[in-house]
């Protein structure tokens, strides 16, 4: 059984397997976790867009060293926190009501990883894909820092958004989902350690059953790194 979040029509914003609420049900969220191939143990992790909390829950469970801050602009989404079994705030997790663009603009060199997955019924809000926003994302990271952004392939300015990110960061990697619906963009500052992009054993802090589920997504990231297009 699945619990799903929909903003409009048939588009699915988030899904949760009821028997495994901390797992990642949607392919693009699995791909976004490819950041562990570059940064296995981030200490500070920011997430823009809570949705059903898939990324927040997975990171909370499997990245024990990370302090996670999630910003969600929609109070109706926050009201579903209990329905999606998102843990309560504690020393490692804080979920805040606010505008992610404002939060990032106020941050300076404080995050190791920033996950950008903010959507509403109209798609990506303009404030979360402007040139200024991506510049603020860069400034929010400390070296070697990594931003990971989910961009739907059908976005009318898809190529423009990719180029905006490319112009701001020191390097980017675009990973396409198998079904062609989402592109996940990894963008970094400084020099990233790519030693884990070769095939390697499961990180010890990620449980075996969770890592096995991520293997196809990790393979997509590795393939894109070896053969960027």
So which residues are the catalytic ones? Answer: 117
Cβ atoms of 172 and 149 within 8 Å: the answer is no
Instruction: Evaluate the omega torsion of the peptide bond into residue 125 and state whether it is cis, within 30 degrees of 0.
Output: no
Closest CA to 124 of 143, 150, 146: 150
Helices 208-226 & 54-62 angle (0-180, nearest 10): 110
DSSP annotation string for 50-117: -TT-HHHHHHHHH-TT-EEEEEE--HHHHTTTTTTTPPPP-SSEEEEES-HHHHHHT--S-EEEEEE-
In a 13 Å sphere around the CA of 210, the CA atoms on its Cβ side amount to 22
Cα separation, 141 vs 147, in Å, equals 8
Cα separation, 97 vs 57, in Å, equals 17
SS3 call for 200: coil
In a 13 Å sphere around the CA of 226, the CA atoms on its Cβ side amount to 11
Can you give the three-state secondary structure of 61-77, one letter per residue? Answer: HHCCCCEEEEEECCHHH
């Amino acid at each position: 059984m699945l619990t799903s979040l929909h903003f409009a029509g048939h588009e699915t914003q988030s899904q949760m397997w009821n028997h495994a609420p901390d797992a990642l049900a949607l392919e693009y969220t699995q791909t976004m976790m490819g950041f562990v191939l570059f940064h296995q143990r981030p200490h500070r992790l920011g997430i823009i867009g809570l949705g059903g909390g898939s990324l927040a829950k997975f990171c909370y469970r499997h990245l024990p060293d990370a302090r996670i801050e999630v910003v969600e602009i929609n109070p109706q989404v926050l009201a579903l926190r209990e329905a999606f079994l998102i843990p309560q705030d504690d020393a490692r997790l804080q979920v805040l009501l606010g505008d992610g663009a404002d939060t990032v603009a106020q941050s300076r060199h404080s995050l190791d990883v920033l996950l950008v997955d903010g959507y509403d019924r109209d798609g990506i809000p303009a404030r979360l894909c402007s040139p200024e926003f991506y510049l603020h994302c860069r400034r929010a990271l400390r070296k070697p820092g990594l931003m990971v952004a989910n961009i739907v392939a059908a976005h009318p300015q898809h190529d423009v958004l990719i180029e905006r990110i490319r112009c701001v960061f020191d390097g980017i990697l675009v990973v396409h989902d198998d079904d062609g619906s989402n592109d996940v963009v990894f963008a970094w500052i400084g020099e990233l350690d790519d030693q884990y992009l070769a095939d390697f054993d499961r990180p010890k802090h990620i449980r075996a059953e969770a890592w096995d589920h991520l293997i196809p997504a990790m393979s997509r990231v590795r393939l894109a790194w070896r053969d960027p297009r």
